[in-house]
């Protein structure tokens, strides 16, 4: 029962701990003093039973001695205590004490206590550089470097560098600044000419309207032509000709039905898309990977394969390869590159072999594994070619930079000139290697046997070489206006309004306009797929395509505004408004506006627009008076004054104030208001042809002076374009800029350059004379080694100043630190174990209360016995923490973060340290740490992500924890390091440990090599699943070993943009659905399928979502087999085939079409809408999701045949 209440406990761990204690803790049962006198007998009996059970099960620790585990250091010290050379216990805090760098006084003073004179080599160094070195006394091989003040000595080398800097500044004023004042994009003569051109063009645009056109998105158009060209030669296989015709005829029939407003597509099954084609030479082209259903089913399998083969092998291989290449004397960068390439190649071989032989992929589709592998190899090959091209460019740029610095020592100091040279070189390099990526990719793919990729690469290269430039010119000649303007003119008569009937597919037609006197009756339900709209205005469209478009806008704006104002002032206000003549003379209220019925599209009066006349207002007023009087008389007499008194006030308010006064106001004011407003409106309407053109002209003047509402380009300035043309373009840019630029470039820059040149030469001569005089007069005769920084000399380098120095320790120190760490680990594990035992009484108490009283909504509170139990636990825990903290203080090694990252060992000592640390861990950890964690040994090593009993790898991890992640990078001779010596009383014990170790220098230590920045950088192998998908786009940054992004189209004018290469990864191959339609249109040019039609595009996208069907399995099926089966004509095909048909049906239905397809509304045509319909919408919708699915399934397609009965099974609803 105790085990049930306290939960499952690790008896082994408790027994081990209790056995380790000198005296075991003593348990004592808890007692619960209860008074049951005031309780009912039955309640008291239950309480007594609970008390008896609790006192039997619950306990507390009467005594709990806390004895820390024996210290490994003290145990070994005791073992050596009898020896004569025993000198005490190790004090870990004294292991690592940073040396003092304060030795300047000793370095500068000779044996007589006087400052040392400068030696001949120090004087020579001062004359050359203005600096001198002084050897260190405490740090062998290190020197203190001092730099003299420039007032005393600068040095010939630094003086020459200053001269070169002055000459470069002088040359910069001539070849950069002066040149840019004549030819550049800012403050130059060419910019002044451009200012005149812009100003005159803006003035001409203001006066007449200069044509503003654009070729559109040339990159997108070229991309579409590129996609067409890649598949232009493809043809369907002869044995699949019928399937292609079936699919294309289906698309055509669906488009025709939508055009005819026949929305019954659910009566037809979408046939499968042909995915296999051939070239004119008979080469097979397999495009099955474009099927999303097939790729989605493959993703999980591929992910498992990639993850499974990326673990457990590359660490050891990486270490061996690094050691192999280090023995060849390669640099860290070369080692990183080669090791990464070797590991990646090995990983790819393992992965590709596993994918090619995977049984799941083979069951999914025969040959699918090989197809996926070929796709990934193609992508990797193309990306490697881009990487090789980038590396070639980087190498040439580095060579060019060194050549420029050597050949032009002065010009190379000018940053702007160097950038210009690099940009010119990049452009020339790219021009010469524009097709190199394609050619290299073709060679690599041919070597790997990727024939399909080679075919498409050759087609792509032919397009770029032969057709792209021609198409760019031809497409560039096709101009569209940058902006179109629409002007609306109101249709006066309602019977001339245009009524349209629109279907859900976006098709609309004009129907006769019917006007009814009342709202039509609703006999039928509302058709949600049909919408009616009414157009009350005519539209006239102008654009910026032709000259004089501003005058054409003025004419159209004047025309539409004149007729609209005449209609408003001559029809609406005098005849339809509340103050119209009609409202004055009409006997009853009238309804001037009409609304449209969505049932039949007819027009009927809009009752919300009902307008009162003079007589109807009077009738409404007196009706309100009578209604108010009737309500008053009908109300009960319960008021303060009573109805006898308030009746007189009510009559006065209703008959006199509301009735008489209101009627007088209506009769006297309303006629005058109607006559005045209507007369003024009619006069304004008659004079509209006179004042509207003037107002329109003022609006156009406002556009020129304040805000241009007809601005043809969105990026062009709209504010005060007239002032911009005159003041900014002509006056400032065209007149003042050339005068200023010529003055600066032809006069000021040469004069300033000559001045800087003279100043530099004069400063050079003066500095040489001054340095020579100061050297011979002062430095050579009176110079001494300084003992500290001062005004004349300042220390700039030496021990303690540089930030990139290290401390070399002895292996004994590292072993002592390792011993302290493993003892600390034992202490932490022991502490957790003790805490678990200490908390057992409290845990048992909580479990008891939860199991007995939680069903009655009772909770545990810290009162009474439980409060004493908590206080007891707190006391034991405090005592435990105190003793553990005391032991941790003894184990503290004094390592701070700055000291940790600077400590290193030479390679031989590092190997020795790792080897003996592994032995130390192997002897200590299993019995002292692992057993206390409660984990099995297999779980322990799995948690560390190491191989089973990989003690050397574990030792490497521990050393990285103790010191830093760079500790495993051996100390090189070229590193700046100092000895970290420790004269400890008991370091001899660790020396004996090392001397007893069986160590060989060629020992293959299996460790995880740290790869910090600047060292050997090797990354784990990884391959994304997207590499197997031909519809995914990739850049070089996608692969871990590559760094360049391939760039496609050119940017906007003025951008510093270079088109690096034209290779697109993956190649822009259109979806097989569009390939099939292209082949069909090529053979049926009289009745082609219009892919520019939006509804046709939606039908094609819907068919792309159906699951993949192998057409070779369906080759024997007749065309009628694709029609739906019915209970009268049940299918007799196999279950597999009928399941395919059912899945197709669930992927395509009218409900999904109406739900997911966007509704079309009539809108003004814009230039952008012409480019929105692309023949290959898949190029813009690769991330689109399924848009067709069926809510109600046809269950007649899925049949399960059993031995005893025939069951018709309903497919589950698929989201």
* Residue with more model confidence, 514 or 24: 514
Q: Locate tokens 């060992």: which residue? A: 905
Q: What is the pLDDT of residue 1059?
A: 56
Residue 213 confidence class, pLDDT cut points 50, 70, 90:
very high
Single out the residue of 1140, 1101, 1197 nearest to residue 251, CA to CA: 1101
Residue 160 confidence class, pLDDT cut points 50, 70, 90:
very high
Please answer whether residues 115 and 108 qualify as being in contact, where contact means their C-beta atoms are separated by less than 8 angstroms. yes
Classify the phi-psi angles of 909: left when phi > 0, otherwise alpha if psi is within -120 to 50, otherwise beta.
Answer: alpha
| Residues of the chain above pLDDT 90, percent | 44
Read off the pLDDT of residues 253-297 as tens digits, 9 standing for 90 and up: 888 777 665 444 444 567 888 999 999 999 999 999 999 889 999
Single out the residue of 935, 1001, 938 nearest to residue 970, CA to CA: 1001
Q: Work out the number of other CB atoms within 10 angstroms of the CB of residue 709.
A: 12
Predicted confidence (pLDDT) at residue 105 exceeds the cutoff of 90: no
* Burial label, 337 (beta-carbon count in 10 A; 0-12, 13-18, 19+): middle
Span of 501-505, 699-703, 777-781, 1121-1125 with lowest mean pLDDT:
1121-1125
| This prediction's pTM | 0.69
Residue 339 confidence class, pLDDT cut points 50, 70, 90:
confident
Q: First and final CA of the chain: distance in angstroms?
A: 51
Rounded CA-CA distance 969/1011 in Å is 8
Please answer whether residues 348 and 380 qualify as being in contact, where contact means their C-beta atoms are separated by less than 8 angstroms. yes
Mean predicted confidence (pLDDT) in 1132-1144 = 32
Residue 1188 confidence class, pLDDT cut points 50, 70, 90:
very low
Choose from 520-524, 749-753, 971-975 the range with maximum mean pLDDT.
749-753
DSSP E strands, 599-678: 603-605
Q: What is the pLDDT of residue 1135?
A: 32
Q: What is the pLDDT of residue 983?
A: 55
| Residues of the chain above pLDDT 70, percent | 81
Triad 628, 634, 640: Cα angle to 5°? 90
Q: What is the pLDDT of residue 1007?
A: 39
Residue 987 confidence class, pLDDT cut points 50, 70, 90:
low
Q: What is the pLDDT of residue 1164?
A: 35
DSSP labels, 176-235: IIIHHTTSSSSSSHHHHHHHHHHHHHHHHHHHT----EE---HHHHHHHHHHHHHTTT-E
φ, ψ dihedrals at 808, nearest 5°: -95, 125
Predicted confidence (pLDDT) at residue 1142 exceeds the cutoff of 60: no
Q: What is the pLDDT of residue 1162?
A: 34
Q: What is the pLDDT of residue 1011?
A: 38
Helices (H), 357-467: 359-364, 368-407, 415-432, 436-447, 451-462
DSSP labels, 1091-1109: TTSHHHHHHHHHHHTSPP-
Q: Locate tokens 């008074």: which residue? A: 35
Read off the pLDDT of residues 828-868 as tens digits, 9 standing for 90 and up: 999 998 898 888 998 898 898 888 888 888 888 888 888 88
What token pair was written down for 898?
Answer: 């700055």
Helix (H) or strand (E) holding 213: strand 213-214
């Amino acid at each position: 029962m105790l085990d049930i209440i306290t939960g499952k406990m690790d008896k082994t761990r408790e027994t081990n701990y209790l056995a380790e204690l000198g005296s075991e803790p003593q348990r004592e049962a808890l007692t619960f003093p209860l008074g049951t006198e005031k309780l009912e007998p039955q309640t008291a009996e239950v309480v007594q039973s609970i008390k008896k059970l609790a006192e039997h099960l619950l306990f507390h620790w009467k005594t709990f001695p806390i004895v820390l585990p024996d210290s490994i250091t003290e145990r070994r010290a005791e073992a050596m205590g009898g020896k004569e050379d025993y000198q005490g216990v190790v004090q870990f805090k004294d292991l690592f004490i940073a040396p003092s760098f304060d030795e300047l006084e000793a370095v500068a003073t000779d044996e007589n206590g006087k400052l040392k004179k400068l030696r001949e080599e120090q004087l020579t160094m001062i004359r050359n550089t203005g600096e001198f070195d002084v050897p260190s006394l405490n740090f062998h091989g290190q020197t203190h470097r001092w730099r003299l003040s420039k007032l005393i000595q600068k040095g010939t080398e630094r003086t020459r560098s200053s001269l070169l800097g002055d000459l470069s500044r002088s040359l910069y004023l001539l070849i950069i600044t002066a040149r840019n004042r004549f030819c550049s994009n800012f403050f130059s003569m060419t910019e002044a000419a451009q200012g005149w051109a812009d100003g005159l063009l803006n003035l001409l645009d203001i006066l007449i309207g200069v044509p503003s056109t654009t070729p559109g998105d040339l990159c997108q158009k070229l991309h579409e032509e590129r996609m067409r060209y890649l598949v232009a030669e493809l043809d369907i296989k002869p044995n699949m000709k019928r399937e292609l015709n079936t699919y294309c005829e289906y698309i055509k029939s669906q488009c025709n039905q939508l055009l005819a407003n026949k929305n019954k597509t659910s009566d037809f099954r979408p046939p499968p898309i042909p995915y296999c084609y051939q070239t004119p030479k008979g080469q097979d082209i397999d495009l099955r990977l474009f099927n999303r259903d097939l790729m989605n089913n493959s993703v999980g399998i591929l992910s498992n394969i990639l993850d499974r083969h990326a673990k457990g092998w590359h660490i050891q291989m990486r270490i061996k390869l690094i050691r192999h290449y280090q023995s060849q004397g390669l640099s860290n960068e070369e080692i990183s590159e080669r090791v990464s390439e070797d590991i990646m190649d090995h990983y790819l071989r393992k992965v590709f072999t596993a994918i090619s032989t995977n049984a799941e992929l083979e069951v999914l589709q025969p040959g699918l594994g090989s197809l996926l592998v070929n796709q990934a190899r193609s992508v990797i090959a193309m990306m490697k070619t881009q990487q090789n091209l980038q590396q070639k460019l980087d190498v040439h740029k580095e060579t060019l930079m060194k050549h420029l610095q050597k050949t032009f020592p002065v010009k190379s100091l000018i940053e702007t000139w160097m950038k210009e040279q690099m940009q010119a070189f990049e452009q020339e390099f790219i021009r010469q290697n524009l097709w190199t990526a394609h050619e290299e990719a073709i060679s690599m793919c041919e070597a790997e046997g990727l024939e399909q990729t080679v075919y498409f690469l050759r087609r792509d290269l032919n397009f770029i070489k032969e057709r792209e430039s021609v198409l760019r010119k031809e497409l560039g000649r096709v101009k569209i206006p940058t902006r179109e303007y629409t002007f609306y003119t109101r249709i006066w008569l309602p019977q001339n309004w245009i009524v349209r009937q629109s279907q859900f597919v976006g098709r609309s037609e004009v129907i006769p306009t019917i006007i009814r006197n009342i709202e039509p009756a609703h006999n039928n339900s509302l058709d949600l797929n049909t919408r009616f709209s009414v157009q009350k205005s005519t539209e006239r469209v102008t654009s910026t395509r032709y000259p004089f478009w501003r005058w054409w806008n003025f004419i159209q704006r004047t025309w539409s505004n004149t007729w609209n104002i005449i209609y408003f002032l001559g029809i609406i206000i005098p005849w339809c408004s509340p103050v119209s003549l009609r409202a004055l003379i009409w006997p009853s209220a009238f309804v001037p506006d009409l609304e449209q019925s969505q049932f039949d599209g007819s027009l009927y009066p809009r009752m919300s627009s009902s307008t009162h006349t003079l007589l109807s207002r009077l009738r409404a007023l007196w009706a309100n008076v009578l209604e108010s009087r009737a309500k008053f008389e009908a109300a009960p007499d319960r008021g303060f004054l009573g109805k006898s008194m308030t009746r007189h006030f009510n009559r006065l308010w209703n008959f006199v104030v509301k009735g008489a006064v209101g009627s007088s106001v209506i009769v006297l004011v309303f006629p005058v208001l109607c006559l005045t407003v209507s007369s003024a409106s009619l006069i304004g309407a008659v004079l509209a042809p006179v004042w509207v053109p003037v107002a329109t002209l003022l609006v156009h003047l406002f556009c020129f002076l304040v805000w241009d509402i007809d601005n043809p380009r969105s990026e062009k300035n709209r504010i005060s374009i007239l002032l911009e043309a005159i003041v900014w373009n002509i006056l400032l840019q065209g007149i003042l800029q050339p005068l200023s630029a010529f003055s600066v470039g032809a006069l000021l820059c040469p004069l300033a350059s000559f001045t800087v040149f003279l100043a530099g030469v004069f400063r050079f001569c003066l500095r040489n004379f001054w340095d020579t005089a100061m050297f011979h007069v002062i430095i050579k005769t009176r110079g001494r080694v300084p003992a500290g920084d001062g005004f004349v000399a300042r220390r700039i380098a030496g021990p303690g100043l540089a930030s990139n120095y290290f401390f070399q320790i002895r292996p004994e120190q590292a072993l002592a630190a390792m011993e302290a760490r493993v003892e600390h680990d034992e202490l932490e594990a022991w502490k957790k174990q003790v805490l678990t035992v200490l908390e057992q009484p409290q845990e048992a108490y909580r479990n008891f209360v939860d199991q007995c009283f939680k069903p009655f909504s009772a909770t545990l509170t810290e009162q009474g016995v439980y409060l004493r139990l908590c206080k007891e636990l707190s006391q034991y825990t405090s005592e435990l923490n105190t003793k553990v903290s005391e032991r941790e203080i003894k184990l503290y090694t004094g390592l701070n973060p700055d000291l940790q990252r600077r400590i290193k060992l030479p390679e031989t000592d590092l190997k020795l340290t790792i080897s003996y640390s592994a032995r130390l861990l192997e002897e200590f950890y299993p019995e002292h740490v692992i057993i206390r964690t409660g984990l099995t040994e297999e779980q322990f090593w799995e948690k560390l992500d190491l191989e089973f009993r990989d003690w050397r790898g574990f030792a490497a991890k521990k050393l990285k924890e103790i010191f830093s992640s760079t500790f495993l990078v051996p100390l090189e001779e070229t590193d700046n390091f100092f000895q970290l010596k420790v004269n400890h009383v008991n370091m001899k014990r660790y020396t004996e440990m090392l001397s007893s170790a069986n160590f060989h220098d060629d020992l293959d230590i299996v460790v995880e090599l740290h790869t910090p920045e600047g060292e050997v950088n090797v990354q784990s192998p990884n391959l994304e699943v997207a590499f197997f998908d031909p519809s995914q786009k990739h850049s070089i940054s996608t692969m871990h070993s590559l760094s360049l992004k391939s760039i496609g189209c050119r940017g906007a004018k003025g951008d510093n943009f270079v088109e690096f290469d034209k290779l697109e990864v993956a190649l822009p191959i259109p979806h097989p659905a569009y390939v099939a339609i292209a082949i069909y249109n090529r053979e049926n040019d009289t009745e082609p399928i219009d892919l520019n039609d939006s509804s046709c595009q939606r039908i094609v996208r819907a068919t792309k979502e159906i699951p993949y069907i192998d057409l070779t399995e369906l080759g024997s099926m007749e065309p009628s087999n694709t029609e739906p089966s019915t209970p009268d004509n049940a299918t007799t095909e196999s279950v597999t085939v009928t399941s395919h048909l059912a899945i197709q049906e669930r992927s395509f239905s009218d409900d999904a079409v109406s739900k997911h397809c966007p509704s079309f509304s009539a809108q003004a045509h814009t230039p952008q809408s012409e480019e929105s319909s692309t023949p290959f919408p898949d190029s813009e919708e690769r991330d689109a999701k399924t848009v067709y699915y069926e809510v109600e399934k046809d269950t007649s397609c899925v049949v399960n045949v059993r031995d005893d009965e025939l069951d018709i099974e309903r497919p589950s609803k698929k989201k």
